[in-house]
């Protein structure tokens, strides 16, 4: 009995069944079921952010609102813009429009800092 079970697993593992046999069809069906019905979260599969350029990364898409991350390397004069919210909005909007090649409206801006509290960039919510 144990020997027969061992042979079945051995033949399946080394793919020894001929095409057109029910064992072959069963293995193919099992593989297809695994491919199409395994949840993405098991493999930690997440969509990669879309790099629009070296400075702009699309983080997510929430209906008509899209979230972008703009890297701080472009905004060396952030300290000057920090006190003037309208100027910061204008500079970020110009940078995004240059990269997206279309007009946008900024809904919200949030500075992003690393663990040393150094400015890493800006998270920008955009309505298109």
Q: Which of 9-18, 33-42, 59-68 has the lowest mean pLDDT?
A: 59-68
For residues 64 and 112, the answer to whether their CB atoms sit within 8 Å is no
Compute φ and ψ for 91, nearest 5 degrees.
Answer: -65, -45
Q: What is the pLDDT of residue 28?
A: 93
Assess whether pLDDT exceeds 60 at residue 51.
Answer: no
- Give the angle subtended at the CA of 65 by the CAs of 108 and 103, to the nearest 5°: 80
Give the model's confidence band at 113: pLDDT under 50 very low, under 70 low, under 90 confident, else very high.
confident
CA-CA distance, 126 to 105, in Å (whole number)? 6
The percent of residues in the chain predicted with pLDDT above 70, rounded, is 81
Q: What is the pLDDT of residue 30?
A: 92
Q: What is the pTM of this model?
A: 0.53
């Amino acid at each position: 009995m144990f020997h027969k079970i061992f042979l079945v697993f051995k033949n399946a593992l080394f793919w020894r069944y001929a095409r057109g046999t029910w064992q072959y069809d069963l293995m193919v069906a099992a593989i297809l079921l695994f491919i199409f019905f395994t949840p993405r979260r098991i493999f930690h599969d997440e969509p990669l952010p879309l790099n629009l350029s070296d400075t702009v990364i699309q983080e997510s898409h929430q209906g008509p609102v899209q979230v972008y991350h703009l890297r701080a390397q472009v905004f060396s004069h952030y300290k000057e813009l920090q006190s003037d919210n309208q100027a910061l909005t204008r500079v970020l909007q110009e940078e995004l429009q240059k990269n997206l090649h279309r007009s946008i409206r900024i809904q919200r801006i949030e500075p992003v800092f690393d663990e040393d509290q150094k400015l890493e960039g800006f998270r920008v919510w955009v309505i298109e």
